[in-house]
Chain A
Amino acid sequence: DAGVIQSPRHEVTEMGQEVTLRCKPISGHNSLFWYRQTMMRGLELLIYFNNNVPIDDSGMPEDRFSAKMPNASFSTLKIQPSEPRDSAVYFCASSLQGLAGYEQYFGPGTRLTVT
Chain B
Amino acid sequence: AQSVAQPEDQVNVAEGNPLTVKCTYSVSGNPYLFWYVQYPNRGLQFLLKYITGDNLVKGSYGFEAEFNKSQTSFHLKKPSALVSDSALYFCAVRESDDYKLSFGAGTTVTVRA
Task: Please report A residues at the B interface, Cβ cutoff 8 Å.
Answer: 4, 31, 33, 42-43, 45, 48, 50, 55-56, 91, 93, 97, 100-101, 103-109, 111
Contacts and interface: CB of A to CB of B under 8 A. Distances in A.
A107 B103 CA distance: 17
Chain A CB within 10 A, most for which of B34, B36, B90, B101 = B101
A52 to B, nearest CB: 15
Interface of B: 32, 34, 36, 41-46, 49, 51-52, 90, 96, 99-101, 103, 105-106
Contact of A45 (B44, B52, B100): B100
A91 B36 CA distance: 14
A109 B101 contact: no
B33 to A, nearest CB: 10
B100 A48 contact: yes
Chain B interface helix/strand/loop/mixed: loop
A101 B99 CA distance: 10
Given A43-B90, A101-B49, A104-B46, 5 more contacts: A42-B106, A45-B101, A48-B100, A56-B99, A101-B51
A108 B106 contact: no
B103 A43 contact: yes
B94 to A, nearest CB: 10
A105 B99 contact: no
Contacts of A101: 32, 49, 51-52
A69 to B, nearest CB: 15
B103 A42 contact: yes
Contacts of A93: 44
